Amino acid sequence: QVQLEESGGGLVQAGGSLRLTCAVSGRTFSSYVMGWFRQAPGKEREFVSHITWSGGSTYYADSVKGRFTISRDNAKNTVYLQMNMLKPEDTAVYYCAVKRNVYINEYDYWGQGAQVTVSS
């Protein structure tokens, strides 16, 4: 069982920055993949980024590439999402999630979400 808790959301003006933190508790394995997703009002949840727990390999959605950076601190069992040059369309509830390895699509555990609001 893995528990995830996001923090760091808030209100920011367009062009600003925020850093989301996902605290991971419970047993983790080196094969795990940590992901960030977001869901805007009236829209489906969409993938933002992921990072492998062991090697730090990363992947980004085109909409955030070059603006967002995902990282992890294995010693602290924490995953971060640094969000720069924020746009109003980045407004959403952001969720962190974990899946067992890169070869499966479904994420097994999810956090409760953190609201990010970008004003124009």
Read off the pLDDT of residues 15-50 as tens digits, 9 standing for 90 and up. Answer: 999 999 999 998 878 889 999 999 999 999 999 999
C-alpha dist (Å) from residue 61 to 2, 5, 74: 25, 22, 23
Write the single-letter amino acid at 105: N
Asked if 81 and 19 count as a contact pair (C-beta separation under 8 A), the reply is: yes
Contact between 72 and 80 under an 8 Å Cβ cutoff? The reply is yes
55-71 b/e with 16+ CB inside 10 Å = b? eeeeebeeebeeebbbe
**What local confidence, expressed as pLDDT, does residue 28 receive?**
78
Q: What is the per-residue pLDDT across 49-96, written as a single tens digit (0 to 9) for each?
A: 999 988 779 999 999 999 999 999 988 999 999 999 999 999 999 999
